[in-house]
Amino acid sequence: HGGALGWVAMITFGSIYALVPWMWKRPAIYSPKLVEVHFWLALSGTIVYVFSMWNSGIIQGLMWRTYNENGTLAYSFLDTVEAMHPYYIARTFGGLLFLLGA
């Protein structure tokens, strides 16, 4: 997801911003300030999205590797899904920030 949002989407946005004035024979982009706002919204959304997924992956992996004294798993699958809920909310917020910028 970090590669798709952070690399592919940002390169696509930059290419569009470079090509649109050339295609329509304009001297420059309509509003450089809007381009800057778009960049910061998309970057902020990408950072929130990627870090929330990264943290949730670490937490989930640690929960799956935790054993009781008798050798059974300490957490059920449902426990790990419930623990991911705050990270899913943060991921949604990051995705919405990214889409707001786009």
Q: For the chain, what is the HEC assignment?
A: CHHHHHHHHHHHHHHHHHHHHHHCCCCCCCCHHHHHHHHHHHHHHHHHHHHHHHHHHHHHHHHHCCECCCCCECCCHHHHHHHCHHHHHHHHHHHHHHHHHC
> What span, in angstroms and rounded, lies between the C-alpha atoms of 17 and 97?
20
Amino acid present at 17: Y
pLDDT of 5 reads 77
For the entire predicted model, the pTM comes to 0.81
pLDDT digits (tens, 9 = 90+) for 4-49: 778 898 899 889 989 988 898 888 888 889 889 999 999 999 999 9
Structural domain boundaries in the chain: 2-101
pLDDT of 44 reads 93
